[in-house]
A and B are shown apart, each in its own frame.
Chain A
Amino acid sequence: MKPSRQVTMVATTLLMVCMLTSVWLLRQVDRMRGAATLQEVLYISSPAALKRLSLGYNGLLADIYWTRAVQYFGSKHFAGAQHYDLLAPLLEITTALDPRLTVAYEFGANFLAPPPPNGAGMPERAIQLTEFGIRNNPAEWRLYYDLGFIYYTELKDYSHAADAFARGSQVPNAHPFLRVMAAQMAQHGGELRMAQMMWSTTYQSTEDRNVRANAATHLRALQVEQDVSNLESLVADYRAKTGRLPASFTDLQSAGLLREIPVDPFGHTYKLTADGRVEVRTPDDFPFLTKGTPPGYVAPPPRFLPSD
């Protein structure tokens, strides 16, 4: 074998070995340092300073910060975290770098507003973020919709929700439901119907697959809650009529109170308990369910939502 060929072979082998060893060593270092200290650091917290440092390429920096916010929220959310300390600053930096990045307001507000573990439990910060978005993008009706949504779902503040929907309904090409929602809010009318209408609007008007899936999951939970309420009301009627609780839904049918055995959105029949309560058979399939779960039921950690 020629000496030059020998050198080539040795150098190539050494190169491969060194490359693999460096990866292995880096993994060891990562394990020693721990992920938390690496994630919970915001090296530059001033949006103005970051804007200067970007040398005019703030659009790209905003995309990077938005991706970082998504990754931060995603990793915390799926770990069932109770604190999202960096989420609001990351979103504020993102939107300061690119105030027209509407996706950051729409999703960011929905990350911030719901209570943990579904969100950061910061509805006030979500409102601030959305108001900032509206100031910079007054023609985006979705931002008014998101604002009204937060006021309604997280704060039960009907007057501010009505005001947000009314403002949004005046934006050209706004979804016609905004006007209806503004009126409904003003009347404080039908909580369940209102919620169904809002999630239906979200489902119909979005083009994002994840948002559609989330809206579909909420709609399924609302459908179950409505079914459970109706069925428990029929059980109460049966008790008033016969003086005892029904043993099954067939008893309700025999009494002429029910036409057919109801099923949940996944096609499973509901369960009638001995004490007259109505429950779903697979509560894990219905995240966000507030009624119809077994006593003491603890929802599993959040997971990817089923597709619509």
Chain B
Amino acid sequence: MSSRIPHIASNTFREAVRDRVLYNLIAFAVLMCGASILVGQISIGIERLVVINLGLTAVSLFGVVIAIFIGIGLVSKEIEKRTLYTVLSRPVQRWEFIVGKFLGLAGTLVVNTFFMAIGVFLALLYVSHRVQAADGWVLVALYFIVLQFLIITALALFFSSFSSPLLSAVFAFSLFVIGSFAEDLRGFAAMAQGVAHWFATGAAYLVPNFSSLNVIGSVAHGQGVAGALIFSETAYAIVYAAMALCGAVLIFERRNLK
């Protein structure tokens, strides 16, 4: 790998931190503390479930929002501030710029998720008063959420390589919503006939399958995730993110920046 990519990635990470992206951790901490203390008083028998469901949902949604709103500005902001021309006037390839930006934002999200995971486990310890073997599956759910971030970051970057920030945000968020219905889309495809069947099947395979990466419901009930599934989901997320990145590189390589 080019040594320039880590530099671009670390700069992207530093920029995100300077943009106070990690401030969302404060909101997350307040949310977790509030949920852990309050739920026991206003509900019955779901203290642990709420900490897992709310914690992992918040990790996922906060991360998706960060991935989209930072991801869409990664290219356009550099063009707007004219810093892109300084970078590209040096011996930096355009693809290196895209990959570096992707890795920088992905790294930011991993760090963010790491701190949120600590919050989730502390809240779990508070409500359960002990560590359970089933808590290990929460780590798998967090890992799947990180895989979701890889895909959505790559998609945001892909859209920002040719579109305005606003439209990129709309496209990326729409794909996130459609991807959450991916299983239903498969169902519709199976029921459809003729051309509609092929069209729906194509769409079902083209959109990212976020629903299969969401195992929050099952891990909240202590159900495990098969090793083979973890491997397949990892491979899927990497391949899909690589596909979106390749698209972004192809468009950005041909883009007239003058």
Contact = CB atoms under 8 A, between A and B. Distances in A.
A55 B177 contact: yes
Contacts of A100: 217, 221
Contacts of B251: none
Contacts of B217: 58-59, 98, 100
A24 interface: no
B46 A103 contact: yes
Interface residues of B, number: 25
Interface in A68-103: 70-71, 98, 100-101, 103
Given A59-B53, A59-B216, A60-B57, A67 B46 contact: yes
A208 interface: yes
A107 B45 contact: yes
A67 B217 CA distance: 17
Contacts of A63: 39, 43, 46, 49-50, 53-54
Residues of B contacting A: mostly: helix
B216 A66 contact: no
Interface residues of A, number: 21
A304 to B, nearest CB: 13
Contact of B46 (A56, A101, A210): A101
B49 A101 contact: yes
Contacts of A188: none
Contacts of B211: 56
A60 B46 contact: no
B151 to A, nearest CB: 14
Contact of A57 (B45, B181, B184, B216): B216
A70 B43 contact: yes
A52 interface: yes
A39 B60 CA distance: 31
- Sorted from nearest, which 3 A-B pairs have the closest CB atoms? A103-B45, A67-B43, A59-B53
Interface of B: 39, 42-46, 49-50, 52-54, 57, 60-61, 177, 180-181, 184, 210-211, 214, 216-217, 220-221
Interface of A: 52, 55-60, 62-63, 66-67, 70-71, 98, 100-101, 103, 106-107, 208, 210
Given A60-B53, A210-B44, 11 more contacts: A55-B180, A57-B60, A57-B214, A59-B49, A62-B53, A63-B53, A63-B54, A70-B42, A71-B42, A100-B221, A103-B44
